[in-house]
Amino acid sequence: MPKKKNKNNDDFEADIILNKEKRERLLEEEGERDEEIEEGLSEIYRDESGELIDVDKLNIKKKRGVIFWFMNILILGLIAVVLGLGIYYYIQNKGTDSTAVDLFAESQEMVNANEEFFYKLKYRNLSGIALTDVYIKANYPENFIFIESDPAANESNDVWKLARIGPRQWGEIKIKGKIIGKSHESNILLAEMIYVPENFSSEFKKETSFQTTLKDTGVSIDINYPTSALVGEENDILMTLEAMEDNHFNEFELEIIKGTNIRILGLKAEEGAELSLKETEDANWIISELKGEQEVEIGFRALEKIDDEETIGFKFSYLGEGGEKIVFHEEEVVLEIMKSDLNLTMIMNGSQNSEPVDFNEKLNYTIAYANRGEATMRDVVIMAALESDFLDWTTLDDENKGREKGNTITWTKEEVAGLEEIDVGDEGEIDFSINVSSFRESDLGRDFVIRSYAQYDIGELEKLGETSTSSGEEFAEDNRSNTIVSPINSDLSLEESLRYFNEDNVPVGTGPLPPQVGEETTFKVYWTLNNNLHELTDVQVEMELPEYISWAEKNRTSVGSVSYEEDGHKIVWQIGRLPITVYRSDAEFSLAFTPKESDKNKVVVLTTGAEVVAKDADTGDDITRKTLPKTTKLEDDEIASMSSDGRVR
């Protein structure tokens, strides 16, 4: 018989299972609540970067009270009041110091001679008290010419008296005038202000100064003269005057200072010269109405040989309205005085005077001789001495075939028949030429000068006996001619190349090559300046363009600037000063050419040649160099010439 189950036991087991499920559900719910709490606390105790905060190290800040904020506001208010009182006190009492006074001068730092300009004397009372018995005095530069002032001066055009200058009051004195003096001369204005502060019994003084430099006299003066003069012979000094663009002289005086042994024969301007010459009662000369560059010859004669040398001075002065003379240029020349029965004159390139020459230049010499003595001279020997390391003797051209030895050439009756006998009053000439050598960098540091003169010796002097000056191989000092000293100009050179391809065979031009009718072709022009010897000033390169050539820009320079001037249709490379440290300078630019039908099958000129002008700072000479024209053959471009004969297609 089957066993009967107990109902109570079944119910008990069911309860146990139910309770177990409830506990598990409760535990699960409790775990979920714990996680929610933990997440909430985690959000509360995380910092701004999301990291958990160590609650063991939490600093709890106390809340600021009303008293704290009240005290802070009170302290800040007190500080503001103190600062305000300080500022107010400073403003109200600023400069009560009796020395709080300013005096200063203003003007141009550079002016030209005889150019009108202004000095401004400015004064300021920075104090809170008035100034009384104010006395301002200007001490002008020595060569300053006063014209007027505003306000007008009280005494002698240089003193101003002011009864009172109020607190924090200012003013100025404007003085109009001009300065006459030498180029680059400094001129200093000094000024002082004496005053008595109100309620003071003591005087106080302020001083100031201002320096003005004369930029230029406005008149360029160049005096060219022979280094020696023969007794009794008329000689000339060549004076070149030029009125510059900024010239402010209408009239000036020339005083020639000399000894009694020198006679001035007069001044003579070339025909048509734009200037006026007028001799004064005291044998000075008034020069006026000068325009541009003009030449004046000053004739003179040495009467006797008293000393070996004679000095002639030239003093140029401005004539003031009151008759005063203010010197703006002074110069002296020293002449070696020669006395000889046979007068010798050395002439180079048509002049007896010393003039600069260029490397590679051909020098044309003439030795003129004349018997000014009292007897016939026989067997005369004439020697030319050319003292220089920079003559190319391989280029000597002497039709008389004189005897060359060292730096001399000697002629006797065997080479020049006229030297066998020279009667009283007879004259003759010996001509020859020689080239200056080329510049070499290895020559730097040497004396770049050529000294040229002639001497003579004789075999017999009739009726003079013991006065014969024959001295064998040596020539007597009084038997010399004038000496020509020729400094050599700097070795400035200008090179120009016109290219379609540069030296690296890279195209720098555009368009068809050779050029084609109706189509534009551009070329690149390269300019190179070389200079080693002397510093140069006023350096400029110019090139006028043919009317059918146009400027295509693409310009670049190492110094200065290259630009196109529409007025004149030319390219200008403006450099200015070129020191010897800059021994090479480069510029480049492009030109464009569009051939016309009339150009077909022709070689066309693209550039007419450039010209560089400069002034040698050492010799004072103007240097000019030119380049040759360039054509569509592109003579400087080997790559282009391989594919083009230069004829327009």
* 33 or 145: which leads in pLDDT: 145
- 517 in any annotated domain: yes
pLDDT at 67: 73
* 580 or 450: which leads in pLDDT: 450
- 442 in any annotated domain: yes
pLDDT at 357: 95
Q: Are residues 520 and 637 in the same domain?
A: yes
Q: What CATH number is given to the structural domain containing 348?
A: 2.60.40.1530
DSSP SS3 for 235 = strand
> Are 253 and 317 contacting, i.e. CB atoms less than 8 angstroms apart?
yes
pLDDT band at 95 (very low <50, low <70, confident <90, very high): very low
pLDDT at 75: 80
Q: pLDDT at residue 478 above 80? A: no
Q: pLDDT at residue 58 above 90? A: no
Helices (H), 468-543: none
Indicate the residue type of 632.
T
- In angstroms, the CA 482 to CA 323 distance is 40
Mean pLDDT of all residues in the chain?
84
Cα dist from 344 to 31, 234, 313, 365, 368, whole Å: 136, 13, 26, 13, 6
pLDDT band at 467 (very low <50, low <70, confident <90, very high): very low
Q: Are residues 586 and 618 in the same domain?
A: yes
Q: Mean pLDDT across the stretch 376-391?
A: 91
* Among 216, 233, 261, residue at a domain's last position: 216
Q: Which two tokens stand for residue 532?
A: 């080693």
pLDDT band at 97 (very low <50, low <70, confident <90, very high): low
CA torsion angle for 107, 113, 114, 115 (degrees, to 10)? -40
Q: Are residues 107 and 206 in the same domain?
A: yes
- 198 in any annotated domain: yes
Q: Are residues 278 and 359 in the same domain?
A: no
Q: pLDDT at residue 393 above 70? A: yes
Q: pLDDT at residue 323 above 80? A: no
Q: What percent of the chain has pLDDT over 90?
A: 49
* pLDDT tens digit sequence for 549-578: 999 988 899 999 999 998 889 999 999 999
Q: pLDDT at residue 426 above 60? A: yes
Q: Mean pLDDT across the stretch 522-531?
A: 94
pLDDT at 2: 43
* pLDDT tens digit sequence for 71-91: 777 788 778 776 766 555 445
With residue 334 as reference, give the H or E element that holds it.
strand 325-338
Q: Are residues 184 and 320 in the same domain?
A: no
Q: Which of 18-27, 266-275, 393-402, 499-508 is predicted with the least confidence, judged by mean pLDDT?
A: 18-27
> Are 553 and 516 contacting, i.e. CB atoms less than 8 angstroms apart?
no
- 539 in any annotated domain: yes
Q: Are residues 260 and 388 in the same domain?
A: no
Q: Are residues 281 and 312 in the same domain?
A: yes
Tokens 């003439």 found at: 366
Count the domains in the chain.
5
Q: What percent of the chain has pLDDT over 70?
A: 84
Q: pLDDT at residue 47 above 60? A: no
- 623 in any annotated domain: yes
pTM for the complete prediction? 0.59
* pLDDT tens digit sequence for 167-218: 999 999 999 999 988 888 889 999 999 999 988 888 899 999 999 998 888 8
pLDDT at 285: 92
Range among 71-75, 438-442, 467-471 rated most confident: 438-442
Q: pLDDT at residue 360 above 60? A: yes
Q: pLDDT at residue 244 above 90? A: no
Q: Mean pLDDT across the stretch 118-146?
A: 92
Q: Are residues 616 and 522 in the same domain?
A: yes
Q: What CATH number is given to the structural domain containing 228?
A: 2.60.40.680
- In angstroms, the CA 46 to CA 65 distance is 28
Q: Are residues 530 and 509 in the same domain?
A: yes
Q: Which of 94-103, 316-325, 362-371, 635-644 is predicted with the least confidence, judged by mean pLDDT?
A: 94-103
Q: pLDDT at residue 292 above 80? A: yes
Q: pLDDT at residue 474 above 50? A: no
pLDDT at 376: 85
* Among 162, 188, 216, residue at a domain's last position: 216
pLDDT at 43: 54
Q: Which domain holds residue 134?
A: 101-216
* pLDDT tens digit sequence for 614-646: 999 999 899 999 999 999 999 888 888 887 888
Q: Are residues 354 and 483 in the same domain?
A: yes
Q: Are residues 524 and 591 in the same domain?
A: yes
Q: What CATH number is given to the structural domain containing 202?
A: 2.60.40.10
pLDDT band at 471 (very low <50, low <70, confident <90, very high): very low
Q: Mean pLDDT across the stretch 7-18?
A: 49
DSSP SS3 for 498 = strand
Strand partners, 537: 615
- In angstroms, the CA 585 to CA 612 distance is 12
- In angstroms, the CA 390 to CA 436 distance is 6
- 2 in any annotated domain: no
* pLDDT tens digit sequence for 153-165: 988 899 999 989 9
> Are 296 and 241 contacting, i.e. CB atoms less than 8 angstroms apart?
yes
Q: pLDDT at residue 464 above 90? A: no
Q: Mean pLDDT across the stretch 60-78?
A: 68
pLDDT band at 63 (very low <50, low <70, confident <90, very high): low
pLDDT band at 32 (very low <50, low <70, confident <90, very high): low
Q: Are residues 141 and 210 in the same domain?
A: yes
- 419 in any annotated domain: yes
* Among 303, 338, 373, residue at a domain's last position: 338
- 29 in any annotated domain: no
- In angstroms, the CA 289 to CA 396 distance is 46
Q: What CATH number is given to the structural domain containing 513?
A: 2.60.40.1170
Cα dist from 392 to 314, 396, 433, 434, whole Å: 38, 7, 11, 7
Q: Mean pLDDT across the stretch 382-406?
A: 93
Indicate the residue type of 440.
R
Closest CA to 594 of 540, 545, 549, 547: 549
